[in-house]
Amino acid sequence: MSHRDLRVVRVFIGSPGGLEKERREFFETIDLVNTIKARTLGLLLEAVGWEDTLPGRGRPQAIINEELKTCDLVILTVWRRWGSPTGAYSSGFEEEYAVAHEANKDIQLYFKSVSKDRLADPGDQLKRVLAFRKRIEAERNYLYDTYADGEWRQTLLVNLCAWLDGWDEDDAKPTLPPGPHPARQRELERQIEALQRELEALKSEQGQEVARLAQRAHGYAQRGELTKAEILFAELADEETNPDVLNQLGLFYRQTGDLDGARSTFEQMARVAEAEQDPEAQAIAYGNLGLVLRTRGDLSGAEAMHRKALTLNEQLGRVEGMASQYGNLGLVLRTRGDLDGAEAMHRKSLELDQQLNRLEGMASDYGNLGLVLRARGDLDGAEAMHRKALAIEEQLGREEGMARDFGNLGLVMKARGDLDGAEEMHRKSLELSTQLGRLEGMASQYGNLGNVLLERGDLTGAETMYVKSLGIDDKIGRVEGIAATKKNLGIVHQDRNDSNAARAAWTVAVGVYERLGNHAKAEELRSWLSQLDDDPDA
């Protein structure tokens, strides 16, 4: 399809000062989305910003506004600066938002994360930004996303591709997909409620003050005022030294994809628990640290943490804690490719959870055993385990577990060649993970859907899914997912006879698998690379 046959879709970027890097990356990302997705839909994205606005007579912002009105999608991002008055509004950014809203444009709003110390003591410019964010939450007209420094390119890439997925040729307009805001709100509310339950038991004056702050945060979240709630969370993170509170904060950071925040919080929790001679809190901190390290690909560090936690739980006679750590050690061993060791750990965990009649733990154990059996090729055994897990999660009403089990059943169906059934399961899992804001689950299911499309020979569709998966895994630092996606992207490139791109992708995957200690997968990819080198046409 030639350039002139493509339908032009205009995308506007608006931002106050301080985001020059984001503006440059916006134009670069538009070019990338055109290459990997838009052109396959018969579309051509055209980036529009004040940089492209032609000089003219009249108020400068009014000229920019006329350009904005011609665009199909309006992207607005803001950080610490609000901007200067335009004569009609308090800033150009506010005026652009108002014009886009009045014109009924599709709007994507982004807020760059602000450090906790600035949140605690904001200046006039940041106060205006926070007031705007509170207004957006109160009005509930638009969803928004947040990103940390260095995450803008990948965040924008994933959201633009998702926006194009909803393109309707009849309406000549895409339908915006569900954004992260409702899921983040639900998850925040759950974490605040858990935090509140823990804090109510505290008797000290310090504990009562934390409980007061948590109660306020809970009220803000219930009303959708997430910015106020996050400010109180910042105060708790900076000032609270109670292990129970630190544990809840660490879990909140991990669930929302802030692995650095989770790691530092759990490390602080371990130090506080050691100083207070609280071995139970130490065990919990070590176990959660192990989960963060495994996600980051540090399997040796993860195993060390889980074994520390297991030892403390054994000394305390905490059977529930022992079961959890046996299960976590099984995950580490499976990632390394040690299926016998993994199965032994998961069966120990299951035995203890059955003794306790701990349904949530049993569901996790059945699911993990299903993964081991599938890796061995026992598809009937794997399906039986995953269906047991799903039945328990449905009984408990745990959507997170249901999402995981749907995804695992999809893997079994794909292994049997039932691609339609596999796709149905993965899309169910993706829908639930998106609703819950579970980034890791979303990345996994995008990758799994890519595998289904690849099996059908739809290279473009598969690549689109892999790019989405890779974008999320890069954002949260999920190393095992990055390795798998690089491996699959290499297959796409090879099927297109692009040996150089395949070689580059597989070389990265080999390095990551070696880092994970999964030498079998690394060796498999080395053999693929060797075949490329032996191919005279490569």
DSSP helix/strand/coil, 109: strand
232: pLDDT strictly greater than 70: no
Residue-level pLDDT at 443 = 92
178: pLDDT strictly greater than 50: no
The radius of gyration of the chain's CA atoms, rounded to the nearest angstrom, is 25
CA distances (Å), origin 387, targets 113, 285, 391, 445, 466: 40, 31, 6, 18, 27
219: pLDDT strictly greater than 80: no
Q: What would the two tokens of residue 279 be?
A: 């071995």
Average pLDDT over residues 508-532: 86
DSSP 437: T
Q: What is the pLDDT of residues 104-154, one digit of tens each?
A: 999 999 999 887 767 766 788 888 998 898 888 888 788 788 888 888 888
> 243 pLDDT band (50/70/90 cuts)?
confident
Residue-level pLDDT at 383 = 97
Highest mean pLDDT pick, 4-13, 232-241, 263-272, 386-395: 386-395
Evaluate whether 91 touches 84 at the Cβ level (below 8 Å): yes
262: pLDDT strictly greater than 60: yes
Highest mean pLDDT pick, 66-70, 112-116, 186-190, 252-256: 66-70
Q: Taking phi first (over 0 means left), then psi (-120 to 50 degrees means alpha), and beta for anything else, what does residue 146 get?
A: beta
Q: What is the pLDDT of residues 43-82, one digit of tens each?
A: 999 999 876 554 444 567 788 888 899 999 999 999 988 9
Average pLDDT over residues 293-319: 93
Amino acid at 451: N
Q: What are phi and psi of 483, to 5 degrees?
A: -60, -45
Cα torsion at 63, 69, 71, 74 (round to 10°)?
Answer: 90
Residue-level pLDDT at 227 = 59
Report which of residues 459 and 164 the model is more confident about.
459
Evaluate whether 9 touches 44 at the Cβ level (below 8 Å): yes
Q: What would the two tokens of residue 217 be?
A: 């945060």
Pick from 528, 457, 464, 470: nearest CA to 499: 528
pTM for the structure as a whole: 0.57
DSSP per-residue letters across 368-386: HHHHHHHHHT-HHHHHHHH
Average pLDDT of the chain, as a whole number: 83
Return the bridge partners of 376, or none. none
Amino acid at 126: L
DSSP 167: E
Residue-level pLDDT at 122 = 76
Pick from 218, 229, 213: nearest CA to 134: 229
Residue-level pLDDT at 51 = 65
Residue-level pLDDT at 537 = 57
DSSP per-residue letters across 323-339: HHHHHHHHHHHHHHT-H
Whole-number Å distance between alpha carbons of 246 and 263:
11
Q: What is the pLDDT of residues 1-52, one digit of tens each?
A: 455 578 899 999 999 888 888 988 999 899 888 888 888 888 999 999 876 5
Average pLDDT over residues 181-206: 50
Highest mean pLDDT pick, 76-90, 236-250, 296-310: 296-310
